[in-house]
Structure formats: C-alpha cells, structure tokens
C-alpha cells in the first residue's frame, strides 16, 4: 500500500501547498476554516455565493501521482444550496463525475449515468471510493457511511487518474452553498476505512542548530497554527539540523496508522538550497532533499511505518521528534 495524499487540514492554511489548486467563481472562497471541522480544529471549506443571477462553481483540485487504480476516503459536509437539487460535485480525473444530489448521488462517466440509492442530507458523511480506470473492465464503487451505494463495472475511461476534484455549486439566482472536506486519504491497494487525522505540535527543543529570529526556544518559532512567518529559525550552514519534541498522542480507542509530517520553508537567495525532513522515534529517518523557492512552500512527508520499523504504536508516537536538516550549496 502507498498513501498518495493525506490531509486533515490541521496546518490551518492552504498557503504554500502546491498540490492543491483552487479556482472558479467571483467573490467566492476556498479556505481551511474553523467552525465546522469533522476532526480537530480545521476542515477544507468551499464556499460559492453570488448576489447576481449567474451560476458559479468553486473548485479545489487535489493532485496525486497518476494511478490506474485508486482508493479514496474522506468525510464531507454538504450544505443546502437553495432552489437547487445539486449540492456539489466530486471528480476523479476528467472522465468520472459524482453529483451530490439531495436524494441520491449520481455517477456520470464514459458509459453514461448510474444513479445511487443512498439518501443524502447535510451534515457529515463518510465517503469511500474505489476506481479502476479501464475502457472495458473498469470499476467505480462508492460507500456512504459504510454502506455500498453505486457499483459500476464497464467503461470508466482508459488511462490514469491524478486528481480528486471538489466543486461547490452556487446555483445562481442569488444563491449560495458550502461544502466541507476533512480527514482525507488517497491511497493504493485497499480502502482506507474511517480515518481521523489529529494534530501533534512541537512542544520543546531536543537538539537544535538553527538560529532563532527571536525568542528563547527554536520550537516556539515553528509551532504556530495557522502558520506565522513573522518568526522562524534559519541557517547558512550545510547539515545544520533541528529536532523538536512533540506532545503526547492519546491512543484510547484509536489505532495509529501513519504520520503526516509538515515543514514550511523557503530560501532567501537564488542558490539551489534544499531542506530534508527528519523524523526520529529513537531511530532517525531523513527524507529526500526538497527543492525550495524564495517564497514559502509547505512540504509534506507521509510515514506509513515508524522510523525504527514496523507499525505505529503509542510508544513510538510518544517518543517522536520532528525537524529539518539544511542542504546549503
């Protein structure tokens, strides 16, 4: 199994996340928002609202490495879109569209329309999708709150799929709607199940070599949610590394599956400086060198196993340290 994307949006901002593309509409917005999270403090919110008669969509495309078969899990919260039956759309590539209707969800694909039967309402719903792309032997199956709904076999389009798209429909006639997404996992080989993504923040310095822009502790300059670029740590020395301790994770009635590590970084010169993400549970793992721009980029590394090997445990999470290593050329 390979996890292609995972997000609970607990970083609190979309700024610098280059695998999320936004667009559509006029005077609309797609943001990481508080107020209606499924887990934690944040969810991804699409808002499409107009005070004119025109109809608009607001969309977010979530990119991942191209696959001929993919499994998707997320929690979604559609809101009422006045005077319209359609609450929004979910896309898996250009050939597959899932319309969110008041009374059911409809699959629109190369072979036509397949109508689902599960009743949909506003509020949070757990959605899983299995897609095999193929011109004759394709598969598209949806599960809503653990119950299979649409199961289509046949032409789902040849080739591969490389994005999950979400559309929020304003409906026109001075209408508006909201669509919330949370606890998203996109992976290969099997359905992810009901995954919840929780946040752990740096709470202390373990071993630090970066210089502080201000203050007395390095971790306190990188622990803000949402991000603050007003303070930071920096270095001009190749190989300098910071490691920060993390708050404990409560595993009561939970099974830890993976860790999503984040680092927000930039360079201030045109040289080819890079950064490596470092994770340590007593054994250290160092990621590949990541290219940096002169504006901030939010980097993500997904760990399906603990650095010391094997499945994640409460003890490994409690011992976990996160950080970064500079590559200065």
Residue 83 is predicted with a pLDDT of 41
pLDDT digit string, tens, across residues 221-243: 999 999 999 999 999 999 999 99
Tell me which of 24 and 268 has the higher pLDDT: 268
Q: What is the pLDDT of residue 32?
A: 84
Nearest to 62 by CA among 41, 79, 82, 46: 46
How far is residue 201's CA from residue 317's CA, in Å, rounded to a whole number?
A: 12
Residues 118-139: tens digit of each pLDDT: 767 778 999 999 999 999 999 9
- Mean pLDDT of all residues in 182-186: 97
pTM reported for the whole predicted model? 0.91
Q: How confident is the model at residue 49 (pLDDT cuts 50, 70, 90)?
A: low
Distances (CA, A) of 86 to 40, 82, 83, 120, 223: 28, 9, 9, 11, 40
Rg (CA), the chain: 21
Query: What's residue 7's pLDDT?
Result: 96
What number is the average pLDDT over the span 254-267?
Answer: 96
Q: How many whole angstroms separate alpha carbon 319 and alpha carbon 111?
A: 51
Domains of the chain, each with CATH number or no CATH: 3-187 (2.60.120.200), 202-327 (2.60.120)
């Amino acid at each position: 199994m390979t996890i292609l994307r995972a997000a609970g949006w607990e970083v609190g901002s979309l700024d610098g996340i280059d695998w999320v593309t936004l667009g559509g509409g006029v005077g609309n917005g797609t943001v990481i928002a508080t107020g209606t999270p499924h887990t934690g403090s944040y969810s991804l919110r699409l808002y499409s609202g107009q005070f004119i008669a025109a109809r608009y969509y607001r969309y977010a495309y979530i990119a991942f490495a191209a696959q001929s078969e993919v499994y998707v899990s997320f929690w979604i919260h559609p809101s009422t879109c006045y005077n319209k039956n359609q609450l929004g759309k979910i896309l898996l590539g250009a050939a597959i569209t899932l319309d969110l209707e008041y009374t059911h969800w409809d699959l629109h694909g190369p072979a036509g329309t397949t109508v689902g039967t599960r009743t949909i309402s506003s509020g949070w719903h757990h959605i899983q999708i299995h897609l095999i792309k193929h011109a004759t032997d394709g598969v598209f199956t949806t599960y809503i709150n653990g119950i299979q709904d649409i199961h289509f076999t046949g032409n789902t389009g040849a080739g591969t799929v490389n994005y999950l798209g979400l559309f929020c429909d304003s409906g026109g006639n001075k209408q508006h709607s909201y669509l919330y997404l949370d606890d998203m996992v996109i992976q290969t080989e099997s359905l992810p199940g009901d995954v919840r993504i929780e946040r752990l923040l740096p709470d202390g310095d373990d071993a630090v070599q970066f210089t502080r822009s201000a203050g007395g502790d390095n971790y306190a300059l990188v622990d803000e949610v949402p991000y603050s670029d007003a303070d930071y740590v920096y270095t001009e020395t190749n190989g300098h590394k910071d490691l920060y301790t993390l708050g404990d994770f409560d595993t009561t009635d939970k099974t830890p599956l993976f860790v999503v590590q984040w680092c927000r970084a930039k360079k201030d010169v045109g040289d080819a400086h890079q950064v490596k993400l470092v994770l340590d549970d007593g054994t250290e793992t160092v990621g590949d060198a990541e290219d940096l721009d002169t504006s901030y980029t939010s980097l993500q590394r997904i760990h399906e196993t603990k650095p010391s090997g094997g499945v994640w445990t409460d003890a490994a999470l409690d011992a976990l340290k996160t950080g970064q290593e500079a590559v200065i050329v």
